[in-house]
A = this chain, B = another copy of it.
Amino acid sequence: MLSSFSLAEKIIWNQSHKTLRKTTVQLIADRRSLDRVFIRPDDENSKKTLVKYMEQILFGLHDFLNRHVGVTEEISITELAKKYMDVEISEHPQKNLGQVIEDIIQDIAPKAVNVASPYFIGHMTSALPFFMVHLKAITAALNQNLIKMETSKVLAVIERQVLAKIHRLIFKQSPEFYKAHVQNTRTALGAFTSGGTTANITAMWVARNHLFPPKDDFSTIEEDGLFKAMSVHGTDRVVILVSRRGHYSLKKAGGILGLGNKNIISMDVKPDHTIDIDKLKQRVQDLKRQGRTKIAAIVGIAGATETGTIDPLQEMADICEQEQIHFHVDAAWGGPVLLSRTYAHLLSGIERADSVTIDGHKQFYMPMGTGMVYFKNALALDAIAYHAKYVNRKGSVDLGIKTLEGSREAACLILDAALKIMGAKGYALMIDHGIETARAFAQKIEARPLFELMTRPVLNILTYRLVPVSIRKKLETATGEERRQLSQELDEINIRLQRIQREAGKSFVSRTRIKLTPEDDFTVVVLRSVIMNPYTTEIILDDILDEQEQIYKRF
């Protein structure tokens, strides 16, 4: 019955027990069965089977996730791991598509994380609009490779257009600018990446490469390497400045680019977790005075991963302009807020950046694995251009010569379609809902005596912790070592609370560590909540707080 995808099926009848019993379905890989895997089946029955499978994926899976509104089944990773120990690749087919789908719905999905649950408010992953599944299926069906015009053609043109649309949303350049660059194959307004991490790495890569001009027999960092660049230019150290709220991909960038992640300098933040501008100014002057040190970039954050904080981008842009330092804004999280008429102003100053990171799989609600990096200067990406004889000939018009990644899928098609289906306003509805619900959540937390709001939401992220009344009272007057000890007590409570709630599987908030005040030399554990699911209502938020109170009372 499911023969269309089984490769081939033979039912072996075991007659040894005198009864006709179906003991096993043997799947065979042969040319005929291979044909069925590649070519769509001609008969209506097989076609129906394929559609039925897709229906199972669309509704079976979705119904399951909706029914189990909780986050995951209560089973430990250790228990799970025991079932996945076999490391042999079977010589013969083991399952057909129907069985695979059934397994996924029945066995995998319940033990995966239901990120679509409105009770999942712990990470930057959420429900996707339904149409995203269709769009992803289309990109798989077309299987274009955007590395090259020869494997993408119109998609390469669409990619340029979408990049220009988002570039304009960020940098607001003139109509002439976009007319000159949108389809200019010699320039690039940005690039699609596999995520915010490689977007940030790409931006820092470009910034690094612009640091040292040719001198003597030194040509470029890209060609001659960092050691020669620094030797010839009498530099000992290349640094990048970012607040302590910076994403760890910036440290990773420092490591991979050869700068050393110690040289990604974590700047102090103010009590509201934005970068301390005075200290930043001071540090830039100190570094300049030291000599033999170059600042590759200053990074502003537009939506800190832990707290949602937005740095004072205008003031940072002033410093960068004055000191001629590359200004990068990591808007992986906050970028799409530019689509909201109500809240776009929060990102004021982003238009003055040299480069900007935005994630597709965060607040553009695209499927996992889509980042973007944008450059104000349409020639900036030339600093990392690569050519391959068989793929990108010199003078090539392919965008793939200017990306960290090589082969990549047509993520542009998904974003292009999503912008058309949602409109800026559709996205704004979700952005606004997240911000406003987070504010309401903050009020709830403040209204409950057992909780303490730790960071107020600027966007749709906040942190808080559970503080028993007895400890709260002691904390009011505690100083020094006593204060630290009380904090540790609270840390243990909140770690335990988060773990029990996560393992129970009904709802999920994450946890992290932040400093209570900039002056502290220790961090404290906080619960972290990200509101990006339009179905996360205030009632649900009350449920989550109720559950936490109950868990604590059962301690």
Contact = CB atoms under 8 A, between A and B. Distances in A.
5 contacts: A29-B425, A86-B161, A108-B413, A227-B237, A248-B388
A166 B62 CA distance: 31
Contacts of A449: none
Given A145-B125, A197-B406, A367-B140, A423 B91 contact: yes
Interface stretch (A254-262, A314-322, A546-554): A254-262
A141 B258 contact: no
Contact of A259 (B57, B143, B258, B419): B258
Interface stretch (A14-22, A93-101, A271-279, A434-442): A93-101
Contacts of A531: none
A126 B144 CA distance: 9
Contacts of A367: 139-140, 143, 409
A58 interface: yes
Contacts of A83: 157
Interface in A393-426: 397, 404-410, 413, 417, 419-426
B133 A421 contact: no
Nearest to A54: B54
Contacts of A413: 104, 108
A152 interface: yes
A37 B129 contact: yes
B423 A57 contact: no
Contact of A53 (B134, B168, B419): B134
The 3 closest A-B pairs by CB, nearest first: A258-B258, A225-B260, A197-B406
Nearest to A189: B87
Contacts of A135: 100
Given A100-B417, A141-B133, A85 B183 contact: yes
A426 B34 contact: yes
Please report whether the interface of chain A is mostly helix, strand, loop or mixed according to DSSP.
helix
Given A389-B306, A408-B368, A424 B262 contact: no
Nearest to A82: B183
B198 A405 contact: yes
B51 A369 contact: no
Contact of A421 (B82, B97, B126, B534): B97
Nearest to A100: B417
Contacts of A252: 386, 404
A114 to B, nearest CB: 9
B61 A54 contact: no
Given A38-B127, A154-B80, A390-B306, A224 B86 contact: no
Interface residues of A, number: 185
Given A112-B154, A151-B113, A226 B258 contact: yes
B80 A58 contact: no
Contacts of A89: 165-166, 168-169, 339, 419, 423-424
Which one of A61, A407, A424, A428 has the highest number of Cβ atoms from chain B below 10 Å of its Cβ?
A407
Given A161-B86, A367-B409, A369-B408, A263 B128 contact: no
B123 A148 contact: yes
Which one of A369, A389, A390 has the highest number of Cβ atoms from chain B below 10 Å of its Cβ?
A390
Given A420-B95, A422-B37, A422-B93, A164 B133 contact: no
Interface string A176-203: 0011001101000000001111100100
A222 interface: yes
Contacts of A450: none
Nearest to A34: B429
A229 to B, nearest CB: 8
A407 B128 contact: no
A289 interface: no
B205 A198 contact: no
B40 A130 contact: yes
Contact of A262 (B80, B224, B249, B256): B224
A447 interface: no
A130 B257 contact: no
Contacts of A235: 227
Which one of A112, A156, A222 has the highest number of Cβ atoms from chain B below 10 Å of its Cβ?
A112
Interface string A49-60: 011011101110
A13 interface: no
Interface stretch (A471-479, A484-492, A507-515): A507-515
A124 to B, nearest CB: 8
Interface string A196-222: 111001000100000000000000011
A376 interface: no
A369 B136 CA distance: 12
Contact of A409 (B50, B368, B426): B368
A269 interface: no
A153 B54 contact: no
A157 to B, nearest CB: 5
Interface string A224-267: 11111011000111100000000111011011111111110000
